[in-house]
Structure formats: C-alpha cells, structure tokens
Amino acid sequence: MKIYTKSGDKGHTQIFAKEMVRMQKDADVLECYGTLDELNAQIGMLLTQQSDPIIQQHEALLLSVQKNLFQIGFAISAQTQLQPADLEDLERCIDKLQDSLPAQTHFILPGGHPVAALLHICRTIARRAERRMVALIKDYPVPDLCLSYLNRLSDFLFVLARSVNHHHQVQESQV
C-alpha cells in the first residue's frame, strides 16, 4: 500500500464514518482531528523524556491518553471505546498529584523545568482541541464524554507540569 494516493492534491480528503465521506481539508472535523493528532504527537515527545521520574511514574497513563485521543477521533466519525473509567483515571491522578503540591494561589506562567514546559505545550494543545471540538459539536454528534475527557486532560497536564517543577525544585513563575 502506498502512503500517497494523490486524491488529496486538490484540497479534499475522506473520512471513514459509518459511510465514507469526502470533504474539504479545512473542514471543522479535520481541524479537530489535526489538533488531536498534534496533541498525540506532543505527548509522544513528552514520553521520550524517560529520564524524568515524574514522566516514568505516569508513563502508563500517558500511553493510555495517546490511545484515548485516537478513540476520541473515532467518536467524531463513527464510534468510540472511550469509557467513563478513562476520565475517572485522569481525575484520580489529578487528585493524587494535587495533594502533594503546594496550594496554588496565583496564575502560573508556563515554563520552569524543560519537561514541565513541554507539558504546558501539551496542555495548550489539549485546550485548543477542546475548543475545536466545541465548534464541531454544532454539526457532529460527538459524545459528551469526549469533551469532558479533553477538558480533564488539560487539567491533568497542568497539574503534572506543576508536579515536575515541584519535584525538580523549580520555582513556578506567578502572575
């Protein structure tokens, strides 16, 4: 199978839903897919940071997040295997991480340790994916769980960034 089909050379592509649908490459659904893909790639980059103990500790959950991002993509076009338990896993981890962190009393500027900065990049892409999905929901019946998952994922990435900075004793810059 060739990687190129030449069928997209004029700005159209197809998605696989219950039936195959051709559309412009700038369609909202493709913008959402692309943002989910970008987020997945950035989380893949994050997973290369195996020397960081916080990333090591959360590797299984981050791999699960990558798989769940694909499930969200599937939900947009057809069906998904994303489950409420996937959302609950993120929430449990957020709660556990927050219990080990100093209270947040100000807005925090993205950055600090390089791994924390990468987590903040992932967080902002997750927020963009969430916005794209909100726009998409107007025309596509996307399950509520998908939007909740993206919302919680950005929270998880934020708290994980704080945890990395805390572990490495990097002072967070506050506003």
Sort 77 into a burial class: Cβ within 10 Å, 0-12 / 13-18 / 19+. middle
14 or 134: whose pLDDT is higher? 134
Distances (CA, A) of 45 to 24, 42, 100, 115, 127: 29, 5, 25, 10, 18
For residues 90-117, average pLDDT: 95
Average pLDDT over residues 4-13: 79
User: Which pLDDT score is estimated for 141?
Assistant: 83
**What class does CATH assign to 26-167?**
mainly alpha
Taking residues 29-53, what's their average pLDDT? 94
- Domain boundaries in the chain? 26-167
Rounded mean pLDDT of 47-69? 96
Residue with tokens 């991480």: 97
Instruction: Kindly report, residue by residue over 117-162, the tens digit of the pLDDT.
Output: 999 999 999 999 999 999 998 888 889 999 999 999 999 999 999 9
Residue 1 pLDDT: 65
Cβ 90 vs Cβ 68: under 8 Å:
no
Q: Are 23 and 29 in contact (CB under 8 A)?
A: yes
Separation of alpha carbons 121 and 157, rounded Å? 9
Higher pLDDT, 128 or 22: 128
Q: pLDDT-derived band of residue 82, with 50, 70 and 90 as boundaries?
A: very high
Nearest-angstrom CA–CA distance, 83 and 64? 12
Q: Which range has highest mean pLDDT (8-12, 27-31, 115-119)?
A: 115-119
